[in-house]
Amino acid sequence: MKLPLLSGSRVVVVDAPDGSVVLRPPPPGEPVADAGAAVRDALRFPLAGKPLETLAAGARRATIVVEPPSLPLPAAQHDPRQPALAAASAELVRAGIPLERQTLLVAGGLMRRPVARELESLGIVSHAFARSFDGKVEIHDAEDPGLVDVGAAGNAPLRVNRALVETDLVVTVSAAESVLHGGPGLLLGAGGSAALRAAGAYSLLETSASMGWRVALELERRLAERTALVGVSLVLNQPLYTGAARGYPYDPESFDRIARSPFRRGFAVLPGFARDRVMRSFRRDLTAAGAFAGPPSVAHAEALLRAVEARSAALEGRLDAICIGVPRTTPHLPRERPNPLLAAYLGLGLALRLWRDHFPVVDGGTVILLNRFTRHFAHPTQQPYRAIFQALRTGPREPEELTEAERLASEDPRAVADYRNGRTCHPLLPFADWAGCAPAVGRLGTVLIAGCRDAVAARQLGFVPTHGIGAALEMARGRHGDDARIGFLLSPPYFPLRVTV
């Protein structure tokens, strides 16, 4: 079988060996006809707690918390989170809180702080909502000295944006993509850098081993003691390609159509920026399958379970090796060309953490990442990533050995000022991304970079560079035998895996 996989902006056609396991998601489910109407119904009939109209009785001010739509990948031209936000704001108006008394809080965590005029281009708000909203827009600053202390979760101090406590009602609007994205994680995204850095997860779909979920739950409990709190979580369907890529990756007929397309060879000779522009021009539809409301953690947990059930692929037994395509994009906004650490995070910290029940690869197994791994840092937005590569200049190091480098980066006044001015991400974000790769790296024997063009960067991260996918597959069979069980994760979009052993 010929399988088309993305490697940066290139389409690599892989001849899958006999007996390979092809991991592909189910087709997108039936969408709701009107996402805004689904949100209105959810707020009127929540899973638990009081409806929005009751919570808003007597309230004079309200804060709506949203996050940049960094997941799922790839992004879509029309996102159901936009009408969901508009519907939540309209419900507040209906409950007696006019637009001028509403605050829109954009909780971006450690990502680059957008300016207000970018909210529409980044897909956070729709054009119609941007024109009609008369309230206050607040872009969260994780280093704001005016953050309010609301307690602690273990050793992590809980400090939050004033808009979460100087209000009568807080409404969160998000989609259920992981235990760290949306729901109570949205409140954490409006917190201080120390708590954000401590918010990790072994699996992005299981709450039991997620420190980030526990910290977010404690923060939700502390905020609920101060003000009324309700959340809306959407269940998103699998992103749907149209045009030349229609049916990918869930339809097997699309594999052969893309692999045999006469335009593929011409596409391969285009320069990188042109290929990237063509890839971005493909239409992608994103729809919602449902909406749930209630306390943020309750609504989010229910929506996440529904999303996993609707979008996951089943895998019986662990794999000896898995091959993952890494696209030419970043997991954070704005979308850019990724540096090697961000490329590793897409494969190891995102794709390989979207599992339930069991890790998909055997202990000591092999992961093959398809990416050129070029050491390129978009200026100025990715400059903090240079600090971690400087700390790794002598090769891979244990997480505790990076503590000093992380402390120095977080205390760099210039790096912090650039973050607060919206020029770049927080200096702690590269270390958080690398920590997100640790659960997978700690269980694997080898990470192979197929098509690597910067062997030094790969070795700095502890990976093995190879010339191409053919050589990487031969190395995997050499490590695990000719009868090795090799899987191919058709992506993006990345999707959940339900693993049974």
- How many other C-beta atoms can be found within 10 angstroms of the C-beta atom of residue 159? 22
Angle, vertex CA 300, rays to CA 52 and CA 152, nearest 5: 90
pLDDT of residue 267: 75
Residue 83, pLDDT above cutoff 80: yes
In the chain, residues under CATH classification 3.90.226.30 are 2-25+312-500
Average pLDDT for 347-374: 96
Helices and strands of the chain, counted as H and E runs? 18, 21
Q: Which CATH architecture has domain 2-25+312-500?
A: Alpha-Beta Complex (3.90)
Cα separation, 204 vs 189, in Å, equals 16
pLDDT of residue 399: 67
Summarize pLDDT for 282-320 with one digit per residue, the tens: 778 899 999 999 999 999 999 999 999 999 999 999 999
Going by the DSSP 8-state scheme, the letter that residue 27 receives in this structure is P
What is residue 81's three-state secondary structure? Answer: helix
Is residue 202 within 8 Å of 439, Cβ to Cβ?
yes
Residue written as token pair 């891979």 = 396
Residue 263, pLDDT above cutoff 90: no
Residue 277, pLDDT above cutoff 90: no
Residue 394, pLDDT above cutoff 90: no
Token readout for 90 is 């309209």
Cα separation, 322 vs 315, in Å, equals 12
pLDDT of residue 209: 85
Cα separation, 372 vs 451, in Å, equals 5
In the chain, residues under CATH classification 3.40.50.11440 are 35-236
pLDDT of residue 275: 81
- How many other C-beta atoms can be found within 10 angstroms of the C-beta atom of residue 39? 29
Cα separation, 169 vs 193, in Å, equals 24
Summarize pLDDT for 148-174 with one digit per residue, the tens: 999 999 889 999 999 999 999 999 999
Residue of higher predicted confidence among 243 and 210: 210
Q: Which residues lie below 8 Å from residue 82, measured CB to CB, with a gap of 6+?
A: 123, 124, 125, 126, 129
Q: Return the bridge partners of 103, or none.
A: 63, 136
pLDDT of residue 200: 92
Q: Which phi and psi (to 5°) does residue 363 adopt?
A: -60, 130
Cα separation, 432 vs 472, in Å, equals 28
pLDDT of residue 255: 85
Question: pLDDT grade, residue 269 (50/70/90)?
Answer: confident
Average pLDDT for 472-482: 94
What's the burial of 94, exposed, middle or buried (CB within 10 Å: 0-12/13-18/19+)?
middle
Q: Which residues lie below 8 Å from residue 93, measured CB to CB, with a gap of 6+?
A: 99
Token readout for 435 is 């920590």
Cα separation, 46 vs 231, in Å, equals 9
Task: Name, of 84-93, 207-216, 256-265, the range with top average pLDDT.
Answer: 84-93
Question: pLDDT grade, residue 129 (50/70/90)?
Answer: very high
Q: Which residues lie below 8 Å from residue 112, measured CB to CB, with a gap of 6+?
A: 332, 333, 334, 381, 419, 422, 423, 424, 425
Number of alpha carbons in the 13 Å side-chain half-sphere of residue 115 = 5
Distances (CA, A) of 323 to 15, 209, 226, 252: 12, 25, 48, 17
* Residue in 372, 427, 402, 393 with CA at minimum distance from that of residue 6: 372
Angle, vertex CA 108, rays to CA 102 and CA 111, nearest 5: 155
Cα separation, 19 vs 17, in Å, equals 6
pLDDT of residue 69: 92
pLDDT > 90 fraction of the chain, expressed in percent and rounded: 76
Total residues found in the chain within this entry: 501
DSSP calls for 225-264: TTSEEEEEEEEEPPPEE-GGGTTTTT-HHHHHHHHT-THH
Summarize pLDDT for 4-30 with one digit per residue, the tens: 898 888 888 898 888 899 999 999 889
Angle, vertex CA 333, rays to CA 99 and CA 68, nearest 5: 30
User: Mind spelling out the 3-state secondary structure of 93-138?
Assistant: HHCCCCHHHEEEEECCCCCCCCCHHHCCCCCCCCHHHHHHCCCEEE
Is residue 171 within 8 Å of 136, Cβ to Cβ?
no
Long-range contacts of 249-254 (CB under 8 A, 24+ apart): 249/24, 249/25, 249/490, 249/491, 249/493, 250/24, 250/25, 250/26, 250/27, 250/28, 251/27, 252/24
Summarize pLDDT for 401-459 with one digit per residue, the tens: 788 889 999 999 999 999 999 999 999 999 999 999 999 999 999 999 999 999 999 99
Average pLDDT for 450-472: 94
Number of alpha carbons in the 13 Å side-chain half-sphere of residue 454 = 15
Average pLDDT for 119-135: 93
Question: pLDDT grade, residue 94 (50/70/90)?
Answer: very high
CATH superfamily placement of domain 35-236: LarA, N-terminal domain (3.40.50.11440)
Sign of CA dihedral 401, 403, 407, 412: positive
Residue of higher predicted confidence among 126 and 17: 126
DSSP calls for 174-197: EE-S-SSSSTHHHHHTTB-HHHHH
- Distance from chain centroid for Cα 374: 22
- Asked if residue 72 has a cis previous peptide bond (ω within 30° of 0), the answer is yes
Over the range 398-434, which residues count as b (16 or more CB within 10 Å of their CB) and which as e?
eeeebeebbeebbeeeebbebbeeeebbbbbbbbbbb
